[in-house]
Amino acid sequence: AAARPFNFCAGPAALPVELLHRVAEQLADFEGTGLSIMEMSHRDAGGPVQRMIQDATFAVRTILEVPASYDIIWQQGGAHGQFAAVPLNLLGERRSADYVDTGVWSQKAMAEASKYCEVRIAAATEASCHSEIPPVESWDLSEDSAYVHICANDTIYGLEFLQDPDVGDKLLVADFTSTLLSRRVNFDRYAAIYCSAGKNLGTAGVCLVVVRKDLLGRARANTPCILDWTAYSQTAPVPSLLNTPPVFPLYIRDGRTVLRHLLEQWGTSGTGALAALESRAEARARRLYREVDESGGFYTNHVSDANRSRVTICFRFGADAGMLREWDGSITSIAQPTQLEARFLAEAQDRGLLQLGGHPAFGGIRVCLYNAVPDAAVDELVCFMRAFREARA
């Protein structure tokens, strides 16, 4: 078979190819049942769909070492659903919430939350042109706010919380959509985290929520049931069976495929899996940033070391510095690539290096190193970046 190209897509992200083959083999006949998993009832007690949800939950608990005091549920509606679910489930009687604005995804979360409460900006990265996240000690947190929200990795600027901030006894909530399974998480610091699949967890259509059990039961009365964490955590005989679950995305990310693959690779106890994934992410990102930093200004990235994303590595061309486009505030606008960007993307594509363009509204180059991107892709990209630069020296 022809070699597969290397896929750096920002999401839906690359999937491990061996798992795609496994899914193809099982598609029409799931584990000898004669049916596909998409054709089976989720109400069949102990049946394949329920076991799949349990396996996925077990794998998340094991790999991420989620403490027993947290519930794990699987909702629909992606991270956008959670932008609303967070205030609806956590505000209680309170009327405001604190948000750390690190870019587009925080702003989207804020826009949705502002439908339900007053949104306070506790800290922002705009003043530093999104090059660093202000230290937690400087955040303006309000006594009256119900919770503090952060986006663990802003995929557009490549700005990441590499450490879990300590907000004391305030409730910290984080969007881990693009970060989960690339570093260890200190759950003690969080009231809840959520992670839309489509990056390291598999394919879009389901969203993982991990929430401290003692925070359940405070959803607003008008919370739609499909965003209600408590309702999801209480369904029987397994959680997350409130309505027909998104079986196929669960199947892709559950114990059968992405998560099982990780457990198989690192041992069923899961111990060490995350530490290994973290050092791999760290080493791969370091190689790319070194290529940028040692390019004599040909490639540029302005994010401070403490916040340089390990999963979404963004850079531009030094020669384009004078022509950086101002973002017009719309995520649906399209930035025209500069000549260098267009050349880079075209030559990369010819070399089998796909989907390296920045977010269409921002341009630039964005390298997404989700877990299923093989190390060989990083080798090939680094070689290409060097050759591209040297050809223009």
Active site residues: 105, 175, 199
- Shortest Å, Cβ 318 to ligand PMP: 27
Identify the sign of the CA torsion 47, 48, 53, 59.
positive
Stretch of residues binding ligand PMP (CB under 6 A), selected from 87-95, 150-158, 245-253, 255-263: 150-158
Of 42-50, 112-120, 149-157, 328-336, the window that binds ligand PMP (rule: CB under 6 A) is 149-157
**Should residue 105 be labelled a site residue for ligand PMP when binding is judged by CB under 6 A?**
yes
Contact assessment for residue 307 and residue 132, using Cβ atoms and an 8 Å cutoff: yes
151 binds ligand PMP (CB under 6 A): yes
Of 174 and 385, nearer to ligand PMP (C-beta) is 174
Does residue 79 bind ligand PMP (CB under 6 A)? yes
Report the C-alpha gap between 289 and 206 in whole angstroms. 32
**Under rule CB under 6 A, residue 309 binds ligand PMP:** no
Q: Checking phi first, is residue 160 left (phi over 0); if not, alpha (psi -120 to 50) or beta?
A: beta
The number of angstroms, rounded, from the C-alpha of 384 to the middle of its chain's C-alpha atoms is 27
Which is nearer to ligand PMP, 164 or 291 (by Cβ)? 164
Q: Is 107 in the site for ligand PMP (CB under 6 A)?
A: no
CB nearer to ligand PMP: pick between 145 and 178: 178
Distance between first and last Cα of the chain: 37
Distance of CA 344 to the CA centre of its chain: 26
Stretch that binds ligand PMP, among 78-86, 92-100, 278-286, 300-308 (CB under 6 A): 78-86
**Positions 178 through 207 that interact with ligand PMP (CB under 6 A):** 178, 196, 198, 204
Could you give the 3-state DSSP secondary structure of residue 44? coil
Q: Does 252 bind ligand PMP (CB under 6 A)?
A: no
Stretch in the footprint of ligand PMP (CB under 6 A) among 137-145, 173-181, 302-310, 320-328? 173-181
Distance CA 177, CA 17 (A): 22
d(CA 86, CA 176) in angstroms, rounded, equals 13
121/331 with CB nearer ligand PMP: 331
Closer Cβ to ligand PMP, 42 or 149, answer by number: 149
- Alpha-carbon span 229 to 12, nearest angstrom: 25
Based on the shown chain and the rule CB under 6 A, indicate whether residue 175 belongs to the binding site for ligand PMP: yes
Distance CA 161, CA 173 (A): 13
Q: Which is nearer to ligand PMP, 191 or 340 (CB)?
A: 191
Of the candidate residues 62, 155, 203, 223, the single one contacting ligand PMP (CB under 6 A): 155
Q: How far apart are CA 96 and CA 104, in angstroms?
A: 20
Q: Which residue do the tokens 């994934």 mark?
A: 277
- When CB distances to ligand PMP are compared, the closest residue is 78
CA–CA–CA angle 80, 86, 91 (5° rounding): 145
- Tell me the two tokens of residue 284: 């791969």
Residues binding ligand PMP: what is the number (CB under 6 A)? 14
Binding segment for ligand PMP (CB under 6 A), chosen from 120-128, 151-159, 225-233, 324-332, is 151-159
11 forms part of the interface with ligand PMP (CB under 6 A): yes
For residue 21, state whether it binds ligand PMP (rule: CB under 6 A). no
Q: Please check whether residue 161 is in contact with residue 186, taking contact to mean a CB–CB distance below 8 angstroms.
A: no
Q: Could you give the CA distance from residue 239 to residue 52 in angstroms, rounded to a whole number?
A: 12
The residues binding ligand PMP (CB under 6 A) are: 11, 78-80, 105, 151, 153, 155, 175, 177-178, 196, 198, 204
